[in-house]
Amino acid sequence: MKKVTSRSYNFRRAAVAAMLLAAGTSIVSCKDFTELAPISLASEESAFASPGNIKLAMMGVYESAAIGTYQNLKSSARGYPFGAAAIEQGEMRGEDMLNIDQFYAITYEGGANPTSLNNVTMWHTLYALINQANILIEGVQKAGAKGVITDAEAKAYEGEARFMRALSHHELLVHFSFPYADAAGGKWGVPYRTKAITSLAAYEEGLKMDRGTVKDCYTKLIADLDFAEANLPDKQPDGAQRATKGAAIALKARIKQHMGDWDGVIAESNKLIPAAAPYKSPIGAFQLTAEPDGPFTSYKNNTESIFSIANGPNANGGSNGALPAMFGPASLNGRGLVATSPILYNASFWKATDKRRALLQVYQPTTGSRYYFNYKYRDYTTRADWAPMLRYAEVLLTAAEAHARKGENDRALALLNAVRNRSVEVGDQFTTPPADLVLAILQERRIELAGEGRRWADIHRLALDAVYGFRGIPAKMKKEQMKLDGTDYNAVTPPTFPTTGGVPSYAYESFRFLWPIPAEETAANPTLRAQQNKLSD
């Protein structure tokens, strides 16, 4: 009998333990999560023996989404996979934020390998979360059949778990697989796991699963989200920290955007966007906040946040992972590791008087360390800022792109302006479509979603776009190219930076474009061993 060595399969203790956590990340600490005693099968079954336990099990799934263990260390929480890490890794794989220290150098410079910790931990914690969702799905199906909860309640819980399963698999796809546009999704995907692995027999069965194709994975993503949409409520009593019908629709719109299915994007988005302004969703009552900082000054209770991962004072990514720690300036008690890059700050398309400069950027005046930092995450004391996963602004911009791609410029411009006009002065507003409306929408995404982890996802999906794609990873700035006296940031008369000394661009064909499957995984899984991504050029 084989020994189970891969952490991606060896989930049972962590998965069941997390299900029994008390609800709410402000109550449960990381220490509680990682130091529970081993759980017996009887205890696993008890997790679904009462309505109260089932809710705790569901909250345990969200808790694991916020705080996975780093390097499998019980005492080390870094906000994996979605509490902070997905956002940080998504930004560091792009060019719009600047790596200041060595903390994110491997990700930032494209040096990931099968044992480098950030990419390895993302793989492990995403699959651990997927397995936990699968355990919950099987548990609530049985609980529903036994009458512990109603059939509708069972399906609603299953919808939440399937939403999280889809969110996790899609995160894996944008890092470990080529985009859908490559040969119409015919490249290798990632193992799309839909069965709970709680025993050696289930582990052995799991070893038979290959990566499938990207197209196969996207078909399963849509199926999971169709189920979620059909069975989730419009609103949750716990707010945006739990999946809703609107969240399932918004995620479907994002996924269809990655597929280049513009008709599909419009069909999904129209469920959330009325035909005319003011745009207030008929499902969930989502609408833009009056000011662009609204979703971040009141991250627990605002009209724009569709789905967020809850962090709390006692459960967050800590000083080595939490969003305000990583993105916050040292002058405000952050660690100052990731700043806004002059590539974005000085971009000609970001107007100098845009409100988002004053409201969502903060300047560190320290001599020799003068940077602008993202100011969306600002609880530098308790690090309780929630991690935004889906916002109504993104839905509007995703729909705008789809309409523009189809030549429906009036609708596209109206949706773009709904987001843009709350931040720019009247003289800078578009009254007619710009010459390249799609480009204007893509540029608006870079400004509006800066610091929310969407930059890499856009680079990835657009990589092969003949007009808007980089066909690889764009060049980035390095700290060493800057003068650090404050003059590096000037939106009116941008400085000229040295042409050498930065992080070079990398071609789509380079091994650096995709993260490799962890060595620990390929050592345990002979099927994936033969399907490893390119490891060198």
Residue 328 within any structural domain of the chain = no
Domain that holds residue 471: 12-192+208-315+387-478+503-529
Residue 198 within any structural domain of the chain = no
Please report, in tens digits, the pLDDT of each residue of the chain (537 residues total). 333 333 333 333 333 333 333 222 222 333 222 222 233 344 667 889 999 999 999 999 999 999 877 765 545 678 999 999 999 999 999 999 999 998 999 999 999 999 999 999 999 999 999 999 999 999 999 999 999 999 999 999 999 999 999 999 999 999 999 999 998 889 999 999 999 998 888 888 888 899 999 999 999 999 999 999 999 999 999 999 999 999 999 999 999 999 999 999 999 999 999 999 999 999 999 999 999 999 999 999 999 999 999 999 999 999 999 999 999 999 999 999 999 999 999 999 999 999 999 999 999 999 889 999 999 999 999 999 999 999 999 999 999 999 999 999 999 999 999 999 999 999 999 999 999 999 999 999 999 999 999 999 999 999 999 999 999 999 999 999 999 899 999 999 999 999 899 999 999 999 999 999 999 999 988 999 999 999 999
* Phi, psi dihedral angles at 358 (to 5 degrees): -80, -35
Residue 449 within any structural domain of the chain = yes
Residue 447 within any structural domain of the chain = yes
* Phi, psi dihedral angles at 220 (to 5 degrees): -75, -35
Task: Write out pLDDT tens, residues 46-56.
Answer: 889 999 999 99
Residue 377 within any structural domain of the chain = no
DSSP string computed for 124-187: HHHHHHHHHHHHHHHHHHHHHHHTSS-HHHHHHHHHHHHHHHHHHHHHHHHHHS--TTGGGGTS
Residue 343 within any structural domain of the chain = no
pTM higher than the cut 0.75 = yes
Residue 132 within any structural domain of the chain = yes
What are the C-alpha distances in Å from 413 to residues 209, 296, 428, 440?
Answer: 45, 26, 14, 10
Find out whether 92 and 155 touch, Cβ atoms under 8 Å.
no
Task: Write out pLDDT tens, residues 289-340.
Answer: 999 999 999 999 999 999 999 999 999 999 999 999 999 999 999 999 999 9
- Counting the structural domains of the chain, the total is 1
What letters, b where the CB count within 10 A reaches 16 and e where it falls short, cover 131-151? bbbbbbbbbbbebbeeebbee
Which CATH number belongs to the domain containing residue 411 in this structure?
1.25.40.390
pLDDT at 458: 98
Residue 309 within any structural domain of the chain = yes
